[in-house]
Amino acid sequence: MPNDVSDEILFYEEHASAQSLKSTWTRLASTYGCIEVTLTKQRLIIKAHWYAKWLINLLALDQCHEVPLSRIRDIKVKGKWHAGIGIVDVHFTTPEGDDRILSLYLRKHTKFADAAKALLSEHSA
């Protein structure tokens, strides 16, 4: 978890879901309520809860990432999923230089997208 003032938390959701669009295998799996999403002024942290981390890693689902703001290429709201949960696609570049899209299923999807887009426009200005 971020701990210095320059990395203050702008958005946090504890029981989100994620789906990696990396491959057919990763598209088949979602982690309903097992993902924690934290957005700070410096980075986006997407990680699994302790009880799901081993399975996500074992199955190579590509759902856990710590992405510096400079590597985020785009944020797109894809619409509603169900029960007030919205889908936001995060397009970023991995440290290895690979393009990646991760779909986040969030209750506060609009708040996340607005905060992330504001940061991206601030960063590119």
Residue 31: what pLDDT? Answer: 74
Task: Count Cα atoms within 13 angstroms, Cβ side, for 63.
Answer: 33
Nearest to 106 by CA among 36, 40, 42: 36
Q: How far is CA 60 from CA 17, 28, 48, 72, 78, in A?
A: 16, 12, 13, 22, 24
Domain count of the fold of the chain: 1
Residue 49: what pLDDT? Answer: 66
Provide φ and ψ at 110, rounded to 5°: -65, -45
Residue 57: what pLDDT? Answer: 66
Q: In the chain, which residues have pLDDT < 70? A: 1-6, 23, 25-28, 30, 49-63, 125
Structural domain boundaries enclosing 34: 5-124
CATH number at residue 88: 2.30.29.30
Residue 5: what pLDDT? Answer: 46
Instruction: Name the pTM for this structure.
Output: 0.84
Residue 58: what pLDDT? Answer: 54
Strand order of the sheet with strand 43-48? 65-68, 43-48, 35-40, 9-20, 99-106, 85-93, 72-82
Task: Count Cα atoms within 13 angstroms, Cβ side, for 107.
Answer: 10
Strands (E), the chain: 9-20, 35-40, 43-48, 65-68, 72-82, 85-93, 99-106
